[in-house]
């Protein structure tokens, strides 16, 4: 069990499942899924999402913008919502993030509801991501006092940095899973304070490395790692 903070730093938690391209999709699937979850997520929205992907062509690698439809089922206060689209299911929790014990049942509800309406052969990717915003009531902060993951500066460099962004990718389970960590400075909301963004993204690195029936157990273990 991790630390319990008086003011939790999590501004958004996301659990995302991406399924094999063979997974069927049409708008009726979204409607059937909404019927199974509207008692928890009464609001429904449809959005067009533009995604950037890199494709291999005869002349090399080129970026391509793809437009997909995305349905969102939101809680009454809008702080929690489900996203569903072609080969995608995501569960988002915005601030305030109460606890894993409160968030995990929503992940299970959405996943099991989708499995009941869509024949899924395999999972391409699972990810559990936590975006944290940490504000410290001091204009001068020693990063060593707060972060295990932080930039290092040698003796010939000044200690005061005007801005920074640091990223690292850590391997788990014989490289079948990875955890990407990013730390960057942010604009503080209060005077004489210092703010940071800490982004922790734990995900599978191999398609079909987790079976359908092991997916929720994988998510639970991912949370323990995070």
**DSSP-assigned letter for residue 76:** T
148: its two tokens: 């295990």
Q: Which of 174, 195, 193 is nearest to 184 (CA)?
A: 195
51: its two tokens: 């995604």
- β-pairing verdict for 194-204 and 123-136: antiparallel
> For the packed helices 100-117 and 215-225, what is the interaxial angle rounded to 10 degrees?
160
Q: Mind listing the pLDDT tens digit for each residue in 141-198?
A: 888 899 999 998 888 988 778 899 999 999 999 999 999 999 999 999 988 999 999 9
Phi, psi of 100 (to 5 degrees): -65, -35
Q: Which of 126, 128, 114 is nearest to 23 (CA)?
A: 114
What is the Cα–Cα distance from 73 to 77, expressed in whole angstroms?
12
**pTM value surpassing 0.75:** yes
What is the Cα–Cα distance from 41 to 61, expressed in whole angstroms?
41
What is the Cα–Cα distance from 165 to 169, expressed in whole angstroms?
14
* pLDDT band for position 86 (cuts 50, 70, 90): very high
191: its two tokens: 């005077």
Q: Mind listing the pLDDT tens digit for each residue in 12-67?
A: 999 999 999 999 998 899 999 999 999 999 999 998 876 666 666 766 777 767 77
- Looking at residue 11, its pLDDT comes to 96
Helix (H, G, I), strand (E, B) or coil at 159: coil
What is the Cα–Cα distance from 62 to 70, expressed in whole angstroms?
25
Q: Which of 13, 27, 17 is nearest to 124 (CA)?
A: 17
Looking up tokens 């990718």, which residue turns up?
Answer: 169
- Looking at residue 55, its pLDDT comes to 62
69: its two tokens: 């439809």
Asked if 208 and 122 touch (Cβ cutoff 8 Å), the reply is yes
């Amino acid at each position: 069990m991790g630390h319990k903070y008086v003011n939790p730093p999590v501004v958004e938690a996301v659990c995302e499942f991406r399924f094999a391209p063979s997974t069927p999709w049409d708008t009726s699937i979204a409607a059937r899924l909404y019927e199974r979850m509207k008692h928890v997520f009464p609001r429904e929205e449809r959005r067009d999402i533009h995604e950037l992907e890199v494709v291999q062509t005869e002349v090399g690698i080129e970026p391509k913008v793809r437009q997909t439809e995305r349905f969102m089922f939101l809680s009454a206060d809008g702080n929690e919502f489900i996203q569903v689209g072609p080969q995608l299911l995501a569960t988002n929790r915005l601030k305030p993030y109460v606890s894993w014990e409160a968030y995990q049942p929503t992940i299970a509800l959405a996943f099991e509801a989708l499995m009941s309406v869509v024949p899924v052969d395999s999972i391409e990717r699972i990810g559990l991501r936590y975006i944290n915003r940490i504000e410290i009531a001091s204009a001068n902060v020693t990063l060593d006092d707060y972060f295990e993951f932080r930039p290092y500066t040698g003796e010939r460099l000044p200690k005061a940095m005007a801005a920074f962004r640091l990223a690292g990718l850590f391997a788990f389970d014989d490289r079948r899973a990875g955890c990407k960590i990013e730390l960057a400075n942010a604009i503080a909301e209060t005077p004489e304070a210092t703010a940071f963004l800490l982004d922790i993204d734990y995900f599978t690195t191999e398609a079909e490395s987790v079976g359908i029936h092991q997916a929720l157990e994988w998510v639970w273990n991912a949370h323990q790692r995070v």
